[in-house]
Amino acid sequence: MTNAALPSSTEAVSGMFLLDKPGGMTSHDVVARIRQKFGFSRVGHGGTLDPMATGVLPVFVGKSTRLAEVIHGYDKTYRFEVLFGSTTDTGDAEGKILSRKDFDRIDPSHLASVLPTFLGERLQKPPMYSAVKKNGVPLYQLARKGIEIEREARRIRIYSLDLLEVSADGKKALFRLKCSKGTYVRTIAQEIGEALGLGAHVILLEREGFGHFLIEDAISLSDLMNIDNEAGILKHLWTTSEVLSDLPEVRILDAHLSEIHRGAMIPGFQIYRTSGLFNLSELVRISDRKGKCIAVGKATVSSLELDRLPKGLPVVRVDKLVGGGL
């Protein structure tokens, strides 16, 4: 396929591809493939996946690249398999073996009993093999040189950690994890191994969910690369409104659309209607009367107060223009 199969101007195309990332590629590799194939000048992804990991990877094109920051804080769901009895320097199967420990087999009851200790809010240090930067340098670059530095622990939250199955040989176990942004599954796996006194590392990692984006709604990279017509591209391109459909909405009267800009305060009399509940400082999507999303903002009041507030008081502050659409 050539760029001629796209609309006459790729600048007019904006939205998100929900990809099922294949293993063996970095998230940056995926972005480069899409840019090269379709000729988009602006392409970016949300939520980096390790090279060996598969699963949900939102890829934004055009003006919608601004949405990567908006969805950054979404919770994630992972399915991952752990091999017990050995540790690696990366925490996964791509690293060098650091230690081995012989054992007969995992006791499923014992394993299940330690999982509740991981739930809730906790601090977690990013692993050295990660994209976190120190003084502008990714930690993995330092790790490859044999350099280890102190990392600041980050606050994360584990909502659920479930044991799905233990392998027939008793050496491996499959888990499902729902967690907040910034959680490293490799570190969780290592800590499970430590809790059992065996050591462990990840041998399979799939992101099943990213906020309301689910693996069953994703398209494989190979299928996307095989599309050779405009209709096929647009079929798999999520609009801004679809991407942000989980956010409460504030629709603006047509006469006031020209007043929407970054930093603008939207008073009650400019609002056509709202849908969904929101509290002070929560994100809302800002749309025109027909529901096309044009911006993202933060509420300056609770939606429960709207009916009794003077119409001249601000309701939403515009943070980011995301309009463009198809």
Q: Which residues are catalytic?
A: 50
Cross-strand pairs, 205? 80
Q: Is 106 left (phi over 0), alpha (psi -120 to 50) or beta?
A: beta
Residue type, 12: A
Q: How far is 236 from 245, CA to CA, in rounded Å? A: 16
- If we measure between CA atoms, which residue out of 22, 78, 56, 3 comes closest to residue 238? 56
Q: How far is CA 83 from the centre of its chain?
A: 25
> Ramachandran region of residue 174, left (φ > 0), alpha (ψ -120 to 50) or beta?
beta
For residues 305 and 99, give the distance between their C-alpha atoms in angstroms, rounded to a whole number: 59
Residue 36 three-state SS: helix
Confirm if 235 and 287 have CB atoms less than 8 A apart.
Answer: no
- Distance (Å, rounded) from C-alpha 63 to C-alpha 43? 9
